[in-house]
Amino acid sequence: MKQTDTKTQILDVAQDLIQRLGVNGMSYKDISEAVGIRKASIHTHFPKKDDLLVALLDRYSDRFLRIVDGIVASSDTSEVKLRRYCGLFESTLSSGNQDKACLYAMLGAELATLNHPLVEEVRSFYQANTQRLAVMLNAGLEDGSFQFNGDVEAMASLIFGLLEGGMLVARVQGGSAGFHQTIEQLMQLIKC
């Protein structure tokens, strides 16, 4: 089995900490203790916290959006595509102690404390998701899987907001079981 390099370990630990505690709840000290290296070693890879966050956001966004693009391009029905998309959020929340949220949801909650390039990264991720959701919703309207009133882009934004915010609420209200019920209610809403 290939041993993970130090830079990847740092990113993995930082992501886990941010998804559970938030960006302001994570420090280089936390990372150094978890990885078993000195803080100076982290600074070698990521001189500033913003450098670490940019690398982390790029990695997360690339992975997540590649998965979403695969869902959109699949031959699944529109309903299955949307369920698979929602399942990405549900599996994040279900992992570990059911206390993880989407990395971008955590950063979005702390947007006012981020520097400008990071704010733009968060906005870009949100926009990329709503665009892909709009594609799924349009396909569902065309094939009759979905029937809802209102604008497709507004519904896409509503769904993304529900998933990102719903994860944060579910962490307070008991975890993934309640979040799953929220997703099922969403599916009923768009199939009316």
User: Exposure of 112 by Cβ count < 10 A (0-12 exposed, 13-18 middle, 19+ buried)?
Assistant: exposed
Distance in angstroms (rounded) separating the CA atoms of residues 115 and 126: 17
pLDDT in tens, the chain (192 residues): 355 799 999 999 999 999 999 999 999 999 999 999 999 999 999 999 999 999 999 999 999 999 999 999 999 999 999 999 999 999 999 987 888 999 999 999 999 999 989 999 999 999 999 999 999 999 999 999 999 999 999 999 999 999 999 999 998 887 788 899 999 999 999 986
- Domains of the chain and CATH, by start: 56-190 (1.10.357.10)
pTM: 0.92
